[in-house]
Structure 1
Amino acid sequence: MRSASRLSERWFNLVLWVIALAFAVFLIGLGSLVVGDLPQVEQRYALDRFIDPVPAAASAEALKRLRREQEDVDRRAEQARLALEAARSASRAARETFENWLRTRDATQRVDQDPGLIARTEQLDRLKAGERAVEERLDDLNRSGLALADQEAAQQRVDQDLRAAAQEKLDAAERRQELRVFAYRLAVTLPLLALAGWLLVKRRHTRNWPFVWGFALAAAFAFFVELVPYLPSYGGYVQYGVGVVLTLILGRVAIDAFQAYQERQRAAEARPNEERRTGIATEQALQRLAKQVCPGCERPVNLANPAANFCPHCGIGLFEQCASCSHRKSTFERFCYACGAASQAEAEV
């Protein structure tokens, strides 16, 4: 049925579209919360859950023992270093005293000081022997520390191997969990998308069309925007595979739609002239004429030619003479803009 939009109708349509968009925005916000909170239905995994408890406990106990022994060796080594420093200080002090005593003996040339020389020499030997004993003890402690460090490093490698095996199990569990959560999201968004498609096909021309379009926009956003980032990757194979499948489906739909459009156009061009004109809305026909195309077949026409009253491609009538004032007017206009008389089709209605 032909119709021309009034200015108030355009404003009402604009308001209704605003309502549809607002409805879609609120639904999108609600859907984002639902989709974002779906992972909470699954428990979070921790690495300790996948570590074998028996070898892990043995490894932890061995590490504790080795670290305690290492701390004990470090403490004794520190004590030995302090003792060595004290022994070296005592040796230096005794040697300085001995050298001073030698200078005094050389100056006086007293023979009775020979027993003192022997005693002082023996004292210095004892101090050096003590110093060497402390050095040997410190060397033994350092070797023990190095051995314990090697044992601790080996035990840490065992612990790392256990954690690496547990990490593999954790990664596999998280991948399975990711697939389950994606299935939950798909189970929520896919029915909404199917319902939105059904509403668009069946209810988009009803009085509640703003809510239909708002729901459709929200469902499309939830499926194509909210769901796609959670699509499992597997190195990009899933995304590209889904892209190929969607492209094939959408391409097939577009090809079928184009063929159906061509069939409809051929069927429309086979109908009588007057019947074809009544099936085109006035506003749509005038917009196409303003673009220099035929309202029926959408092919270009030379509207500047005053004799071009019919489309040379499909034969639909484009212009006619007003029955009242004989002014040339469009066949899609309800009234003559020269005299205001109703067109023949309008008069018959």
Structure 2
Amino acid sequence: MTTSQAYSRPARLLQIASWIIAIVFAGFLDMLGSLVIRDLMFVPHGGPPAAGQFVDTRASAPLDAQLREIERQRSALGDKAQTLSTGYERASTEYHDAQESLRNWLATRSATGDNRNDIELLSRTRKLDVLQANALNWQHQRDALADQQRKLDSQSETINAQLGRLQADADARYAAAQKRYELTVFGWRLALTLPVLLIAVWLIVKHRKSRYWPFIYGFGLFALSAFFVELVPYLPNFGGYVRVLVGIALTVFAGLYMLRAFQRYVERKRAEMQQSQSERARSVAYEKAISAYQKKLCPSCDKPWNLGGEQVSFCIHCGLRLFQVCGCGARNFAFFPFCNQCGTHVKRADDEAAGTPG
């Protein structure tokens, strides 16, 4: 942060523009990362395994050929069954018609009392027997054909059972191969995203205050998105544990880092409180002093000085001089380099006292 960033309008605009650059940079990196993570699925063996490649074709091909032959025979038997059904229906119709005709003829003869046509009766009876035998013959053929169809159905069921067992074995091999493939792809994706996340954490911890901080924060946003968002759709069954464990580790790391930073801050403040006012004043950076003045905090102990009133000259908590009077009579914040009334250079009373020979 530069000297003017605590209060100047151009500096605020620059900070907003820097965050926009960081977000846009993270967005483009995220798009690139999503493409890379997606295309990693084609790294092992050119893509995911296909279910068909695990079928034992040497065992299934003869069975498939037998099924095709059974289907051909079944189709032929179907055509023959239709012909037999037509022939049986015709023979049955002829038999029933002849039987009805004989019945009517007998009824007529009985009504007239004419018993001279025994020869015709025998002829009609023989014809009826022939028609009945013909119908029975068609029926026997139909029964034999039905037996053949049942045998074909039994053979088909046996072959389908064998094919089912082969398919179950193929499915088991495919499931195992698919699992190995998913683990391999997940390993590649984890090998890409986890180091990126660790590098981003290292950059933010070590270089977050560098002049190129927008790119560092943009890279950090991309790393978080890649690991905790882009990786989610491709997690295997146990992948969620990896993501949660890494999240826990990062949380613990961040917590320990913040606790240690706070402890260092407390120790530094405790050491500062043992210094003289002039030494403490010289150790306060101008940017921090301006930021503390805007928040009405003491730049040395970080506590609110306005609890003692708006016209205080010293911090009521640590005794640091905060305000002093210029030669023109104007009251100035002790860390302002120039007077707000006359514009002359303002020297701290502590500096003048330190520069006066004892």
Query: Same fold by TM (over 0.5)?
Result: yes
2:37 corresponds in structure 1 to 35
Identity within the alignment, %: 33
1:214 corresponds in structure 2 to 218
2:247 corresponds in structure 1 to 246
Shift of 1:215: 2.8
Evaluate the alpha carbon distance shift between residue 221 and residue 316 of structure 1 in structure 2; reply closer, same or farther with a 3 A threshold: farther
Structure 2 stretches lacking a partner, 5+ long: 353-358
8 Å CA contact retained: 1:327, 1:338: yes
Q: Aligned partner of 1:285: which letter? A: A
Matched, 1:85 2:89: yes
8 Å CA contact retained: 1:3, 1:282: no
Shift of 1:252: 4.1
1:133 corresponds in structure 2 to 137
In structure 1, the residue corresponding to 2:284 is in which secondary structure? helix
- 1:35-86 residue CA offsets vs partner (Å, 9 max, x unmatched): 2122123334222321223221222122222222322332222222111111
In structure 1, the residue corresponding to 2:116 is in which secondary structure? helix
Aligned pairs, number: 342
8 Å CA contact retained: 2:48, 2:181: no
Evaluate the alpha carbon distance shift between residue 332 and residue 66 of structure 1 in structure 2; reply closer, same or farther with a 3 A threshold: farther
Shift of 1:312: 6.2
Q: Aligned partner of 1:211: which letter? A: F
C-alpha RMSD of matched pairs (Å): 3.3
Evaluate the alpha carbon distance shift between residue 11 and residue 175 of structure 1 in structure 2; reply closer, same or farther with a 3 A threshold: same
Matches of 1:332 and 1:153 in 2, distance apart? 97
Matches of 1:249 and 1:129 in 2, distance apart? 94
8 Å CA contact retained: 2:312, 2:323: no
2:10 corresponds in structure 1 to 8
Matches of 1:217 and 1:14 in 2, distance apart? 16
8 Å CA contact retained: 2:3, 2:287: no
- 1:130-172 residue CA offsets vs partner (Å, 9 max, x unmatched): 2222222222222332232122122112111111111111111
300-309 or 7-16, larger mean C-alpha shift: 300-309
2:73 corresponds in structure 1 to 69
Evaluate the alpha carbon distance shift between residue 71 and residue 296 of structure 1 in structure 2; reply closer, same or farther with a 3 A threshold: farther
1:24 corresponds in structure 2 to 26
Q: Aligned partner of 2:75: which letter? A: E
Of 292, 307, 317, 2:320 maps to: 317
Q: Aligned partner of 2:70: which letter? A: L
Evaluate the alpha carbon distance shift between residue 170 and residue 331 of structure 1 in structure 2; reply closer, same or farther with a 3 A threshold: farther
8 Å CA contact retained: 2:314, 2:323: no
8 Å CA contact retained: 1:51, 1:162: yes
Matches of 1:46 and 1:134 in 2, distance apart? 52
Evaluate the alpha carbon distance shift between residue 209 and residue 267 of structure 1 in structure 2; reply closer, same or farther with a 3 A threshold: closer
Shift of 1:12: 2.2
Evaluate the alpha carbon distance shift between residue 145 and residue 338 of structure 1 in structure 2; reply closer, same or farther with a 3 A threshold: farther
Matched, 1:255 2:281: no
In structure 1, the residue corresponding to 2:323 is in which secondary structure? strand
Matches of 1:190 and 1:202 in 2, distance apart? 18
Q: Aligned partner of 2:65: which letter? A: E
Matched, 1:114 2:118: yes
8 Å CA contact retained: 2:324, 2:348: no
In structure 2, the residue corresponding to 1:174 is in which secondary structure? helix
Evaluate the alpha carbon distance shift between residue 97 and residue 203 of structure 1 in structure 2; reply closer, same or farther with a 3 A threshold: same
In structure 2, the residue corresponding to 1:111 is in which secondary structure? coil
1:1-349 matched pairs, under 5 angstroms:
3-5=3-5, 6-41=8-43, 42-234=46-238, 238-240=239-241, 242-271=243-272, 272=275, 273-275=280-282, 277-278=284-285, 281-286=288-293, 288-289=295-296, 296=300, 303=307, 305=309, 315=318, 317=320, 319-324=322-327, 331=334, 344-345=347-348
**What is the TM-score when the length of structure 1 is the normalising length?**
0.82
Shift of 1:324: 4.3
Shift of 1:9: 1.7
Evaluate the alpha carbon distance shift between residue 233 and residue 195 of structure 1 in structure 2; reply closer, same or farther with a 3 A threshold: same
Matches of 2:313 and 2:73 in 1, distance apart? 107
8 Å CA contact retained: 1:324, 1:339: no
Evaluate the alpha carbon distance shift between residue 306 and residue 196 of structure 1 in structure 2; reply closer, same or farther with a 3 A threshold: closer
Evaluate the alpha carbon distance shift between residue 251 and residue 196 of structure 1 in structure 2; reply closer, same or farther with a 3 A threshold: closer
Shift of 1:94: 1.4
Matches of 1:139 and 1:304 in 2, distance apart? 115
Evaluate the alpha carbon distance shift between residue 208 and residue 124 of structure 1 in structure 2; reply closer, same or farther with a 3 A threshold: same
**What is the TM-score when the length of structure 2 is the normalising length?**
0.80
Q: Aligned partner of 2:59: which letter? A: P
Matches of 2:286 and 2:258 in 1, distance apart? 20
Evaluate the alpha carbon distance shift between residue 245 and residue 203 of structure 1 in structure 2; reply closer, same or farther with a 3 A threshold: closer
8 Å CA contact retained: 1:335, 1:343: yes
Structure 1 stretches lacking a partner, 5+ long: none
